[in-house]
Amino acid sequence: MALKGNLTDFPILQILNLVNLAQKTGTLVINHQDLVSLITFRNGKLTYAQYGGEDGSLVAVLYRAKKLTKNQAQLIHQKAAEISDKQLGLMLVNARYLSQAEILTCLQEYYLSIVKRFFAKAEGVFEFVADRMPPAVKITVKLDLENVIIEGTRQMRELEVLQEEIPSLEMAVKFKDRQGMDIRNLQLSVQEWQVVKYITPKNTIRQIARANHMNDLEIRRVIYTLLQAGIVEMVRVAGTPKIDLSTAIPNQTKKEQRSIINRLINRLKTA
Amino acid sequence: MQNVKIVVTGPFNAGKTQFIRSISEIDVVNTERKISSKAEMVKSQTTVAMDFGRITVDDELILYLFGTPGQRRFDFMWEILSEGMLGFVVMVDSTRPETFREARRILETFRAYAPTPYIVAANKQDLPDAWDLGDMRLALRLADDVHLLPCVSTDKETVKKVLITLLESILEMIG
Ligand SMILES: Nc1nc2c(ncn2[C@@H]2O[C@H](COP(=O)(O)OP(=O)(O)OP(=O)(O)O)[C@@H](O)[C@H]2O)c(=O)[nH]1
Ligand SMILES: [Mg+2]
């Protein structure tokens, strides 16, 4: 089934959140201003990106990262235009000109820079095509999305959106139990770590804010960042009753309440 | 005589009125008005106060369904409607991810009022552009224990299923 929408109303950071949590494999195809950009993921990690018609060849990336001189880049273009990125990478490594790690870092930063271009209010429509991978000759990387999401979400300054996402500060948050997630690998700010220390279903968001002398906007921003990165989820404060039917079905024993619900169910079954 | 009520809420155009219409034994007393704002010109009519449906169980018991208006400027109605409800249904248009943030807002707002049971209905699952349930659960930030059901408001059977599942979860909570 479809996984498509409009970037204005379903922003890239929410797509990354979804891809990360669902550990998706496939390509996000973005149509924007007559351009088609591609961002590819494997098991929820960033592996590849291509921005519109921009030259994303290894030569171009290394040249822009100042790992190749202009002459070297031109030479490769002229003499070895038909060599694939993977072959070229191997030749540069074998020639001891660059290490494999240097090449991968350059590509990783380049792919990431493409993703970031969509952070700011972006326009365009997207569709996620499951299992679609880049051509085999392209070099892929493997980058966790949590820190990318944290960096992007942190820039969020729109109070209105933050209030929509976290309407009540009387709720609590708790850590999501997700396999393979190690909180120590997160690149959090001092303020974010301060908040993390107080996260338990026993504390309301408001209490965490007070303990850290943070205002509504600050606490909402941090909590939203952690929500978006899939690190925490919102819950009712521990100890509050699971259900309260005292105003819905007043003056009734549990047994009578059960009987009422059962009669409703039976009636609906025959509706 | 016992009256109980379930609130049907959700973003603009999610299918709330249709949901109630499919199951109510009386003609839905709705308050549709012509839409004025251009931004919301997806259709010509919208609910401005509330939809109201009824299911009579027996001489002693009646279930009322109240549909909230989808537009933001009627938010004040929520608190009024949520008073004394048995539970609520959050309808979400599965084909319009741009409304998911609004759905999250509604969900979190209602959830903060009182410990009331709720269920999320992924509506318009009959349309080709419908997102699948797994993706919607994540996008709506629903915990694993929250009920999320596929729904087609025009199909009475799926509407029944949503309401029955909500009631069954209430039974479980009563214990
Ligand atoms: N295909 C399809 N269309 C539906 C479904 N449910 C509702 N619709 C259509 O979606 C539109 C909106 O339905 P309404 O019931 O008016 O939605 P609403 O949530 O009451 O809208 P507001 O009161 O304006 O917020 C109508 O054109 C319905 O016919 C569904 O399950 N499938
Ligand atoms: Mg309506």
Q: Stretch A91-106: mean pLDDT, rounded?
A: 94
Indicate if the pLDDT at residue A222 is higher than 80: yes
Q: Are B164 and A265 in contact (CB under 8 A)?
A: yes
**Lowest mean per-residue pLDDT among A66-80, A88-102, A211-225, B103-117:** B103-117
Chain B residues with CB-CB distance to A165 below 8 A: 101, 104-105, 108
Looking at chain B from residue 114 to 143, which residues have their Cβ under 8 Å from any Cβ of chain A? Answer: 114-117, 128-132, 134-135, 138-139, 141, 143
**Minimal CA–CA distance to B66: which of B148, B146, B10?**
B10
Say if CB A135 and CB A35 are below 8 A apart. no
Name the closest ligand to CA B70.
Answer: 1
Cα of first residue to Cα of last residue in chain B, in angstroms, is 24
Residue A38 pLDDT > 70, yes or no?
yes
Phi/psi for A150 (5° steps) reads -60, -45
Give me the mean pLDDT over the A146-167 stretch: 89
Tokens in use for B115? 């410990």
DSSP state, residue B130: P
> Closest-CA residue in chain B for A174?
B143
- For B4, the closest of A233, A260, A271 (CB atoms) is A260
- Separation between Cα atoms, residue A230 and residue B132, nearest integer Å: 20
- Looking at every residue in chain A, the average pLDDT score rounds to 92
Q: Which residue of A260, A262, A270 is the best one to mutate when testing the B interface, meaning the one whose CB has the most B CBs within 10 A? A: A260
- Taking the C-alpha atoms of residue A226 and residue A223, their distance in angstroms, rounded to an integer, is 5
Listed in order, the ranges of chain A carrying CATH 1.10.10.10 are: 169-241
Query: What whole-number distance in Å separates Cα of residue A88 and Cα of residue B172?
Result: 63
CB A229 within 8 A of CB A154: no
Least confident of A32-46, A110-124, A241-255: A241-255
Q: DSSP secondary-structure letter at A35?
A: E
Q: Which domains does chain B have, with CATH numbers?
A: 2-174 (3.40.50.300)
Element (H, E) at A163: helix A159-165
> Which residues of chain B are modeled with pLDDT < 70?
28-50, 70-74
CA of B171 to the centre of ligand 1 (A): 29
Mean pLDDT of A4-15: 92
Question: Which pLDDT does position A78 carry in this prediction?
Answer: 87
pLDDT of residue A1: 60
Contact B118, B91 (CB under 8 A): no
Distance of alpha carbon A57 from alpha carbon B70, whole angstroms? 49
- The top-level CATH class assigned to A169-241 is mainly alpha
Query: What is the C-alpha to C-alpha distance for residues A132 and A40, in angstroms, rounded to an integer?
Result: 8
Output the CA–CA distances (angstroms, integers) from residue A210 to A145, A175, A190, in the order listed.
30, 20, 16
Cβ contact, residue pair A271, B63, below 8 Å: no
Strands (E), chain B: 2-9, 32-34, 45-47, 51-58, 61-67, 87-93, 118-123, 148-150
pLDDT the model gives residue B44: 54
For A57-78, the pLDDT digits (tens) are 999 999 999 999 999 999 988 8
Helices (H), B37-155: 76-82, 100-113, 133-139
Note the pLDDT of residue B21: 93
Cβ contact (<8 Å) for B108 and A243? no
Nearest to B63 by CA among B174, B166, B175, B172: B166
- Does A6 sit within 8 Å of B97, measured CB to CB? yes
CA distances from A133 to A19, A32, A55, A250, B27 (A): 15, 20, 18, 59, 52
CB contact under 8 A, B128 and A264: no
CB of B62 closer than 8 Å to CB of B3: yes
Dihedral sign (CA A135, A138, A139, A142): negative
Quote the pLDDT of residue B98.
93
Rounded Cα–Cα distance for residues B159 and A97 (Å): 66
ipTM: 0.88
DSSP A260: H
Q: What is the Cα–Cα distance from B68 to A43, expressed in whole angstroms?
A: 40
To probe the interface with B, which of A149, A245, A247, A249 has the most B CB atoms within 10 Å? A245
Please report the pLDDT score of residue B45 as a whole number: 61
Q: How far is CA A34 from the centre of its chain?
A: 25
What pLDDT score was predicted for residue B37? 54
Residue A245: per-residue pLDDT? 87
pLDDT at A150: 94
A249: three-class secondary structure by DSSP: coil
pLDDT at B48 (0 to 100): 53
